A and B are shown apart, each in its own frame.
Chain A
């Protein structure tokens, strides 16, 4: 037990190897923590001991190791989006939409005619100033959400429900964009607003049916008017045509009547001229010619001697008619 305890110091320590290992670790660690990559769509903001140093463009970059320099890489060239009142599920950005429980409250708004509307919209923005974005405001994205909601309600509050739902959409988008841009600049969020787009804008569900009823009634009105016009167009042009036909026919009649009279008169005048040359014989001729035409048409002809005219009453006219009928 008296034997002195011999502390065996490993060879490699004695050789100073440990120092080399420590140095190697430091070197490798330093190498790893001193490089970083900034993606094409991004910019890097470099801090040294927490103080802003510089902003760097995309590429492979170097910095002081071991947390002396800290880098925030921000996608400044990417267009970012916030959704209000609805959510596109599965999007990569969790801040893009709000909690499902408040989405209904998010979209319900009071209009300037004291009605209600449900407005869904998106805000497209990008990080315009990484330094402000990072160091000037706590939670710039959250602030942007509040401001957007406030602005949209300000704009909607100045409009009637019909403007909000149908006729004023574009105007709302523009005014909201301008107001949001102003506030975001005033708040120094380091964000630039690209666009505001209204999505579904509807009356609240309990009144939707009555809005549809208005549309239906409008359609119905058009239909009634169209039907009446149809009926008008079915009858009036035809009637005009018929009237025209009658007038044309009358004009035809008039022409015929006048022409015939002229013809008759011409004929008469010619005959009269002949007649004047030999009245008696012309008369006789005309008479006989006419008789020649007339007599064959007559069914029963009885020629009596002047002296025998007294037998006339004895003639049985009925029999004659019968005879004629049986012929």
Chain B
């Protein structure tokens, strides 16, 4: 019987230990309620804690940073562009008691966040132009591929902004944070997660993109044709230049050579009357050699110096070396 009593004691002890204690996780804080009414300060220290059995209920409240993922909302910017905007936020329960009293659980907290953050986002987006929530840094200049965008106007440049995405986010954050404070919620950050065009805007954007690209393509083709024409033109020019210059040079060289040769001849042949006479004589003989051929018939008389001896062997008194048909 002694052992039975011991077993019963162990079981009883374990049960009362279970009923009188609770564990606060690192991720939790706990508000004890007695018949629905909070008792004492929220317990934020993790570990084992005591409570009154049966009467005190443990309400666990998150201590961690919590994500809020906003539903995608369609809204209009100041310049009437319809966007589907997705935001996310980070928040935590900073005042557990306040939170517990006003919202009680996370589900109602999230729906409150949906309302407040949704409407603040809508307000802020409606106040700004599309580009202000797309771009961030005011002074950034796009790196451009000159070959692609040169002479294409706005293509390849960033639209200027005055405020920028981060400032708009900050604006939403500030307003929403103030409104959430009353619920024991501290908003830590809010950002745009996705910004997408709605269907009609998207189609318009695509059309513009297509036309931009077609312009660029057309310019490339025209550039190609232009460059090619330039090269062909240069070819024609160079050919003409080369040919005419060579012609000029050839004429110069030949002319100079001819002139030089003439000078040389003249200098030699014109040196004296005798030289000139001798020159005429041998040139005439050369001319016969060159100009007479088989087609030519020649009638000679025995008076000619060559055949003179046909008739007589007498010494010629005055040899006449002028052939028949003689020279001038």
Task: Sample 15 A-B pairs with CB under 8 A, ordered by A number.
Answer: A47-B46, A105-B86, A114-B134, A143-B90, A150-B88, A158-B158, A168-B143, A214-B220, A222-B224, A223-B224, A228-B229, A228-B230, A232-B232, A257-B257, A324-B294
The answer to whether B62 touches A154 (Cβ under 8 A) is no
In the complex, A95→B189 CA distance in Å? Answer: 23
The answer to whether B156 touches A298 (Cβ under 8 A) is no
In the complex, A166→B149 CA distance in Å? Answer: 13
Binary per-residue interface labels of chain A (244-255) against chain B in the complex, 1 for a CB within 8 Å, 0 otherwise: 101101110111
- Given the interface pairs A232-B232, A265-B264, the reply to whether A304 lies near B299 with Cβ below 8 Å is yes
The answer to whether B157 touches A265 (Cβ under 8 A) is no
Which A residue's beta carbon lies closest to that of B69? Answer: A146
The answer to whether B25 touches A50 (Cβ under 8 A) is yes
Which A residue's beta carbon lies closest to that of B321? Answer: A287
Interface window among A31-39, A55-63, A73-81, A271-279: A271-279
B residues within 8 A CB of A309? 301
Interface window among A86-94, A120-128, A133-141, A194-202: A133-141
B26 interface neighbour in A47, A211, A213, A287, Cβ under 8 Å: A47
Identify the B interface with A (CB < 8 A).
3, 6-7, 23-28, 45-48, 62-67, 69, 72, 86, 88, 90, 130-131, 134-137, 140, 142-145, 147-149, 154-159, 165-166, 188-189, 191-197, 202, 205-206, 208-210, 212-214, 216-221, 223-225, 227-232, 234-235, 238-239, 242-243, 245-247, 249-251, 253-254, 256-258, 260-262, 264-265, 267-269, 274-275, 278-279, 281-282, 285-286, 288-289, 292-303, 305-307, 310-311, 319, 321
The reply on A129 being an interface residue by CB < 8 A is no
Classify the secondary structure of A's interface with B.
helix
The answer to whether B254 touches A253 (Cβ under 8 A) is yes
In the complex, A227→B230 CA distance in Å? Answer: 12
The reply on A3 being an interface residue by CB < 8 A is no
The answer to whether B265 touches A264 (Cβ under 8 A) is yes
In the complex, A294→B306 CA distance in Å? Answer: 12
B residues within 8 A CB of A40? none
The answer to whether B253 touches A250 (Cβ under 8 A) is yes
A residues within 8 A CB of B47? 48-51
The answer to whether A158 touches B26 (Cβ under 8 A) is no
The answer to whether B307 touches A303 (Cβ under 8 A) is yes
A residues within 8 A CB of B221? 217, 220-221
The answer to whether A228 touches B137 (Cβ under 8 A) is no
The reply on A185 being an interface residue by CB < 8 A is no
The reply on A229 being an interface residue by CB < 8 A is yes
A residues within 8 A CB of B220? 214, 217-218, 220-221
Identify the A interface with B (CB < 8 A).
16, 18-19, 22, 47-52, 105-106, 108-116, 134-139, 142-143, 146-147, 149-150, 153-154, 157-163, 166-168, 171, 183, 186-188, 203-204, 206-207, 210-211, 213-214, 216-218, 220-225, 227-229, 231-232, 235-236, 239-240, 242-244, 246-247, 249-251, 253-255, 257-258, 260-262, 264-265, 268-269, 271-272, 275-276, 279-280, 283-284, 286-288, 290-291, 293-295, 297-306, 309, 312, 317, 320-321, 324
CB distance from A110 to the nearest CB of B (A): 5
In the complex, A139→B27 CA distance in Å? Answer: 12
The answer to whether B294 touches A298 (Cβ under 8 A) is yes
- Given the interface pairs A225-B228, A247-B249, the reply to whether A158 lies near B239 with Cβ below 8 Å is no
CB distance from B245 to the nearest CB of A (A): 7
Which A residue's beta carbon lies closest to that of B260? Answer: A258
The answer to whether B297 touches A300 (Cβ under 8 A) is yes
B residues within 8 A CB of A242? 243, 246
What are the 7 A-B residue pairs with the smallest beta carbon separation, nearest first? A221-B224, A254-B257, A243-B246, A224-B224, A261-B261, A217-B220, A210-B213
